[in-house]
Amino acid sequence: MDVRNHPVLIHCKRGKHRTGCVVGCFRKMQNWCLSSVFEEYQRYAGAKSRTTDLTFIEMFDIINLRQCLYSIIYQYQGASKKRRLMYQGETTQKPPRLTSF
């Protein structure tokens, strides 16, 4: 989702069904309308387009995935606002609080 990592190459053995499903789900994460997602899938899958793939893409729940990504992968470290991968059990040190008298 981070555009600093683009372009992204996604492929599988044939590049139609698995790749199409992953890209379709990614497009939903990018807030594409479902008709545009389906159109892109069908354009690249051609005659090998599957209705089960379209159903999978339609039913794919982006809300839970988004929450998972935001809560697990990216966390802010202190006041620096730098994003970095946090490992399980790792903690961040918060800067001391300044108090005025």
Which residues are known to be catalytic? 12
Whether the CB-CB separation of 4 and 39 falls below 8 Å is answered with no
Helix (H/G/I), strand (E/B), else coil: 75: strand
54: part of which helix (H) or strand (E)?
A: helix 51-59
Give the number of residues written for the chain: 101
- Residue 42's nearest CA partner among 33, 30, 51 is 51
The angle subtended at Cα 13 by Cα 12 and Cα 14, nearest 5°, is: 95
